Each structure stands twice: as structure tokens, then as C-alpha cells.
Structure 1
């Protein structure tokens, strides 16, 4: 086996390579969350492993223990923050508790190095700290493993840090079999195994991070293909595909489902009077207002032009009409501005829905809701009209409808 110093330097070189690659990715893909944290983590790991090997005097050992471990712990903290960012956590974890815990930990390591030389206890304490942070990193990545689709990169990084945490728990126990004074430069088998594990972890995590970035970019491309570029809601094609899935689920589980067609009243006049940029702002504002109160399993899409379409799972036409009326009253309060002038609009909404039978399709729902929408337009606009879909009773062959 290679000597301890060589293994520590190899771990440092691996993390330098990681810092360079992740740093380049952060420059090329600045919108990918977490990359800057990962680049900082890789660089801090490289510095920490490099500091580990500057031993030879009591002062050098003390500096190495405090500075080296401080850098490595801070690197693991940045790994955790990068993973949280990629998992969708917008707010960073408060750094105060970490700084306080790190200061206390480093003070204990210094005491066990300078005041009372106790290498086994210091090694065990360090391993417990590494194990705790490794488990925290794996825990932060856990939500990503439950997302649909391939999660190859997340599995690699999660598994690597989970195994790393388990290794350090074992090392904490085995540390008490080590000599009372440190033998770093000569290297005990446990110390050599530790640096070999760190070198292996650095390479595996780097591969996992690259895979994570690739998966994130692929998902982003898929999302852009499904979203309307102006409003950020589903485009027509994506809405139809997802709405059919929801309709099938409602039929299978005996749940009601409703569809709303929403049209901005006199939208052409807005464009003609205030210009298309203001018209675009109105479209974005209406889309945001309509989507604000929706539940996670409801759908909203842009049907075309100034028309929007919503699918409400679990609501029949009566309940959906209540929702539609609430949306109708909210839209005028969200306006756009044109030359310091407020531009407000109203909407007309057509509603249909009920308990589906196998004859229902997304197209048939749209046809019924569209009919109700045109009735709302004919009756003066800025109103809600509803049609119930035909449905068939389970023990009868008679079709009922409004």
C-alpha cells in the first residue's frame, strides 16, 4: 500500500481536479444551483488534505489538525449546501450553528493535540464529526431520489457519502486500538485506509456531481419543452398529455374532475391601445393570478392567444364554479402598467365537469367548457357559466346531463 503522505496528496490532487472541473461547469452553466458551493467544497478539501501533510514538529501538527480539519469540515458544509440548492431548497441553512459547532470541535481537537496528547480520542472525535456531516449530505440528497425519472447521479453521491459516514463510524471505534501518540508520517494501517477512502470518495463524488449536473440540465430542457415561454405555465401540448392522465385517474378512482376555459375580455383592445409589451405583461399577470390558488395536482396551461385552460381534480362542476368565481373576481385587482397608467382586465370563464365515464376525453371536456365560455361572452362578459358533462349511472343505461 502507498504511504500515508502519498495517499493524502493523491486525495488533494483528486479534489483539485474536482474543483477545476466543477468551477468550469459553474462558469458554463451559471443557472445550475449548487455548483459554486461544490466548487468551493472541492477546493477546500484540496487545501485541507494538503495541510494534513505539513507535519514534523509539534507546532506543525497543531496547525495541521486545526486548519486541515477546519477546511475539510467547511468543505463538507458547502457540499451539503450545494445539494440543498440543487434539491430546490431556496433558503440556505443558517451558518451560525455550524460555526459554533466547528469552533467547539476544533477547540477540543487542539486540546487533545497540544495540552493532552491523545491521538485515539482525537481520531474518534474527528471521525464522528465526519460521519455526522456525511450523513447530513446524504439526507439532503434524499428528496431527489424520490423524484420521477432517472436519478443516477443522486444515487452515486448519496451512496458515496452514506458509505463514507459508515466508514468513519467504524473508524471511530477502531481508533482506540491506535497508538497513544500520533504516527502520521509512518502511517498505521487505519490511517492509510482513511486516506485511501478519502481519495476514492473524491473520485466517486466528482463523477456523481457531473452526472447530477447532466440530469438537472436534461430535466430543465424537458421543462422548457413543456412550458409556454411567455407565461411559464404549461403549453397546450403538455396540458393535453397531463390532463388525459388526470382524467384516467379520476375514472379509475371514481373521483370528479372539472375543466375551466378562461378568456381575457377585450384583450385585442389592450394590445391596440397600449401595445404588445403591455399585452404580454397582462398575459403573465393573469396566468400568475389563475395559478396562485391551485393545488399541487391541479393543472393550468395556455390554450392559445388570450385563452387559458385549467383542470381541477376532485371537484365537480358545482365546486369548480365556486373556484372559477373566486378567480374571476381576483383577476381585475392584478393589473399591468402602461405609461404610469393602470391597465386592468376582466375574464370570462366556462366550466364543465362531473364524475367521468369512459366516453369522456379532454376534447369533450373542452367542447363543453368552450360552449359555456361563449355563453358567458354573449351574456355580457366578466362572468362564469357552467355546463355539466353527461354521465352514466353505474346501474342504469340512462344518460343524464344539464
Structure 2
């Protein structure tokens, strides 16, 4: 930065009246549009041999006479007519909007000040904003949209909604200031918001996205399974979470791993925040019964859902054929009994009365056999009869039970 003294004392002869060097010191405000050429007119009356210099605010030298000191090639000093010391700035930019001073180095120095405004279209400070804002339900949030531009832009916030009946996007005004404020955020506050700045030169827009974050929410259409042995079971679990969750399956508290012979785990994505996972159990048996869990965890929290698997034993059908019971025939016919051979007594008997003799001789006492083949035969008949009765009772009882 180059500075020069503006208090150069010159020995000059001040002429009376209108012949004295003079500069109209009335301040001037000039407005230019960005990209145009700015001309700051400075006219000296009766300059004589006095120097003219240009400064910008804080008296930083720009030009001494018509020599440009600061090296900006857009700037020049125009002297078309005697006494003209016009400062010319080509392709004027927003940063050129400053205070400029044309100084006649007389004693005392005379100054003419120019306040330059450059009309620029609004420019949103995008570095001060995020593309995505994450929030939890119930939180408060304030977002400021910083904007530059001249004239000063008006700033508004809009929410972009979709009308379900027509599927058209609706631009809804939610704030007429630079500040977008939420006191108690909820799921319906998520979505796209835009900061819009506008002035006579143009507009600028920047969009942000508000997104609710929450712990995983799990659901299923069926969580109890009763299946037979050797069946295949598919347990399905739906997870909705933001941010995305890590997903796993457990059985009786132990993490399951993919085993193509027994277990397989599949994960499907359905949209930005919904995931579906399936656990397939093959060739189930009684060892597979018990409690299974689908778990999901993200940075906000964890959730799980339980599945109960019951395995029924396979039953073997046994066909029981019952024969018609055979009825044993009981006969009343006398069993042949071998006659008993008695020895003839040689002892003389006492003579009985005639009538008693007749009665005695009319009754024959026959004693059944106590040993031998005939007794064995009678026992077999009795056992056969009892066996037949027991078999009949058992058959009837079995039929009633079945």
C-alpha cells in the first residue's frame, strides 16, 4: 500500500477573485450497475501548476495526476478537457462500491468526495448454510440466510410441498425475514426449504433440506410360526430408520450367521429410509424351535422385534387291522372217560334185604379221571375260552379309544 502526503505546501501566488484555483467540494453519490463503466467527474477551475490526486477511503492512493499507482488496469484518469480529472473504473464490481476522493493539492487542500454504490444482484452466502439439517422430534432450530447485494435485497424463506391430489409442487411462504425458526420440530417439518433474495437487479436462491433423525422402528406382519418338521420358515422384518441402521438376527440371544445349509439372511432397500430383511430357516426340526430376534441399531438408538417358532413333531400313521373275534363253542357232550377197572372182591358179602339191594344196584357211581390225557384236554378247552374272551374285550376297548 502506497501513501503520499497530501499536505504539500506550494509557494504559489493566489490571485484575487475568479482567478484562484478552486474545486467544487459538494459531495456526490453515484450509482452504477455491476459490469458497467463508472465515471467520477472531477473538474478544477484555474488549476495552474497544482497537482490533482485520487484516493479511496482511508486515503489510499489510486492515482497521482494521470499515473495509476495501485496497479488496477481497470482504472484510468481521463483528461479530455482542461481541468478535467475524471476517474474511470471499467467493469465496475461490488467491491468497487467505496468512498473516493478527488484532491486539489492547494493550500489548504480542496477535496471532492464521491460515494459510489454498485447495483449488484443478491448473493446468498452459501458457505454459512448447510445442504442438510438433521433434527430430532421436539428440538428447536434457527437458520439464518446471510445475503449481500445493492440495493439491499429482501429475503424470504419458502417451503416446497407436494399437493397429493394434483402431485404439483407448492411454494409456501414460511418466513419474511432472513431467519427461519422452528420451536418444536416434528415429522411434518421435514422437507425442502429455500432462501430467496431479491432486488431490482435480480434474485438468488439456495435450497436446504430438513430431515428428521430417529431410532429404528421395526414391524412385521407375522411373528408366530407353527410348522412341521422338515419345513422351510421365512421370518420377515421391516425397518424404518434415519440414519440407516445396522441389522442383525439373533436366536436365543446369540447372533446368527449366514449358513447356506441352514440359515440365509437377505436385506432389501425400499426407499431412502425403509429396509426389509428376511431370515430363512431350512429343514427345521425340534432343535430350531425357540425365540428369534430381528435387531436394528443406528446412532440414535436400537429396536428389536421377537419371533416365536414352534416345531410340531411328525406323526406316523399306524394301520391297525382287527380280526373278527372267534367264538368258542362250548359243548355239553360228555367227555369220554375211560372206564375204571375194579378188581373182583373174593370177600363174602353179607346178604342184604331184597328192596335195599334193588336200590343199591340201581345207582352206579362213576368217578372222573384225576390224571392222564383226558384231564389235559379239558384244561386246554378252558384256557382257549378265556383267551378268546380277553381278546374280544381288548379289541373292543382299542376300537373305542381310536
Common fold: TM-score over 0.5? no
Q: TM-score, normalised by structure 2?
A: 0.19
Q: Which structure is larger by alpha-carbon Rg, 1 or 2?
A: 2
After TM superposition, the score normalised by the length of structure 1 is 0.19
**Greater strand share, 1 or 2?**
2
